[in-house]
Amino acid sequence: MTSAPRSEAAYDRLRLRQWTRGDAASAGIDRRDLLKLVAAASVAAPLVPAAASPASASQPGLPGVVKPLPPELFTLRGTNAETNFAALRDTGLLTPADRFFVRNHTTTPSVDPARWTLTVWGSGLHGGPVDFSYDALRALPSVTRTAFIECAGNGRSYFTSQQDQQVSGTAWTLGAIGTARWRGVRLAEVLRRAGIDRHAVDVLPRGLDAEVVSDGTNLGRVRRPLPVSKAMDDVLLAYEMNGEPLPPDHGAPVRLIVPSWVGIANIKWVGDIEVSAQPLLSPWNTSLYRLFGPGYPAEGSAPLTGQTLKSAFELAPGASFAAGRRHLITGRSWSGGAPVRSVDVSTDGGVRWRPARLRDEPRTGSWVRWTADWSPRRTGPGVLLARATDRSGRVQPAVTAHNTQGYLFDAVVRHAVNVV
């Protein structure tokens, strides 16, 4: 990973300065609308509650999502479906596509690969636009890698339930993450074939899903610029997930995989990629996916890049355990910064901690499964905690600093259980 958050911050100051002077482009949205959105981002609105969806009773799914979303596997939240962590207990390292969370700004589009083309265009190319058909893309050298995708707002609801703070956005618990094995073409390969110029600074992939209208403002199609350094590094244009063609809800026929970065970078249903010699802005790197609030500048932090550090038990909320028996408790930990080094577990509400047993070789951009034994003696309510440390030395804190949109929650989550 070449672009440390610090260089992204410096680069972003340049991007914003150029934008103020009118040298940076915010195509697809009016400048004044974008400024208004940035101003509004520093105020938190209430969380979107879980959908009390009448559809889920008769037909387990969401109108905008193709795959079934049975309640034992998913919790529906607006247009999105959160994976129930308890449903991962019998899965391996990889999350099967039928259990992978779905985050849709609008609805899953139906894209015919035979008629699909990827258009690469913009001022950062030597020549004019270059089109790649699905077959042409599949004929290029392929690479395979295991990577998690995690929404920047994963864990957001704990700002409210654990820290008593107001944040806006989807009220995820910890299930807005999944890990899969992706196969595709390196974005760098495609950009080189399209004739990327050394003056290129930003790469803007855009989805083929519907335009997003938020509070009456049309934000345009989902798109978020990547600095050229990241785009040329480890990003994939993926067409396979766990050995199968990409499913519709996860971006068929082709999506971006941006390892270790916030979920929004992984643009689904990509239709075109602008390569620009000028810095680019979109709502998804200005008013969204930055940290806003008292501790941050008015225009927010630099755009979010790497994910943070988290742990989750593969248990339902309030899960029951029989007293006087030995139980195997399981969970997973992950970090966008470095491989997980160790995980500690507490079964007494955080007084004593002991190491969990790691079941996987920790790797960058993936998660590790872990286990611990627990023999509860006394009946009644209890709290389980898991705290990960990564190889950069980062440890999950007790509290996450507040930001209005509830991004990057990394504090230790208190998982309520019942001993019976």
Ligand X SMILES: Nc1nc2c(c(=O)[nH]1)N[C@H]1C(S)=C(S)[C@@H](COP(=O)(O)O)O[C@H]1N2
Determine if residue 269 is left, alpha or beta; phi over 0 gives left, psi from -120 to 50 gives alpha, anything else beta. left
Considering the rule CB under 6 A, would residue 67 count as an interface residue with ligand X?
A: no
Give me the 232-251 binding string for ligand X, x by CB under 6 A, dash otherwise: ------------------x-
Considering the rule CB under 6 A, would residue 222 count as an interface residue with ligand X?
A: yes
Give me the 94-133 binding string for Mo ion, x by CB under 5 A, dash otherwise: ---------x------------------------------
410 binds, among Mo ion, ligand X, none (CB under 5 to 8 A by kind): none
CB of 63 to ligand X, least distance (A): 15
Residues 6+ apart with CB under 8 A from 239: 134, 137, 138, 183, 184, 185, 245, 246, 253, 254
Cα distance between residue 112 and residue 400, in whole Å = 43
How distant, in Å, are the alpha carbons of 128, 237, 264, 336 from that of 138?
22, 10, 24, 29
Cα 405 to its chain centre, rounded Å, is 14
The stretch among 188-196, 243-251, 261-269, 338-346 that binds Mo ion (CB under 5 A) is: 261-269
Considering the rule CB under 6 A, would residue 116 count as an interface residue with ligand X?
A: no
Number of alpha carbons in the 13 Å side-chain half-sphere of residue 272: 10
Bridge partner list, 119: 131, 272
Cα distance between residue 234 and residue 202, in whole Å = 15
CB of 98 to ligand X, least distance (A): 12
Residues 6+ apart with CB under 8 A from 105: 79, 209, 212, 222
226 binds, among ligand X, Mo ion, none (CB under 5 to 8 A by kind): none
Residue 222 or 273 with smaller CB distance to ligand X: 222
Position among 207, 225, 283, 336 found at the interface with ligand X (CB under 6 A): 207
Considering the rule CB under 6 A, would residue 99 count as an interface residue with ligand X?
A: no
Instruction: For residue 35, give the 3-state DSSP assignment.
Output: helix
CB of 204 to ligand X, least distance (A): 12
The stretch among 27-35, 149-157, 203-211, 365-373 that binds Mo ion (CB under 5 A) is: 149-157
230 binds, among Mo ion, ligand X, none (CB under 5 to 8 A by kind): none
By beta-carbon distance, which residue lies closest to Mo ion? 151
Cα distance between residue 249 and residue 108, in whole Å = 6
How distant, in Å, are the alpha carbons of 4, 72, 95, 362 from that of 84?
32, 7, 12, 23
CB of 380 to ligand X, least distance (A): 37
Position among 38, 125, 267, 281 found at the interface with ligand X (CB under 6 A): 267
105 binds, among ligand X, Mo ion, none (CB under 5 to 8 A by kind): ligand X
C-beta separation of 151 from 262 below 8 A: yes
Nearest one of 212, 257, 194, 187 to 64, comparing CA atoms: 212
Site size for ligand X, by CB under 6 A?
Answer: 18
The stretch among 75-83, 108-116, 151-159, 404-412 that binds Mo ion (CB under 5 A) is: 151-159
Cα distance between residue 206 and residue 82, in whole Å = 24
Considering the rule CB under 5 A, would residue 151 count as an interface residue with Mo ion?
A: yes
Cα 416 to its chain centre, rounded Å, is 25
Considering the rule CB under 6 A, would residue 159 count as an interface residue with ligand X?
A: no
Considering the rule CB under 6 A, would residue 269 count as an interface residue with ligand X?
A: yes
Considering the rule CB under 5 A, would residue 223 count as an interface residue with Mo ion?
A: no
Cα distance between residue 220 and residue 89, in whole Å = 39
Bridge partner list, 185: 237
Residue 228 or 264 with smaller CB distance to Mo ion: 264
Position among 263, 300, 337, 365 found at the interface with ligand X (CB under 6 A): 263
Residues binding Mo ion (CB under 5 A): 103, 151, 263-264
Residues binding ligand X (CB under 6 A): 100-105, 149, 151, 207, 209, 222, 250, 263-264, 266-269
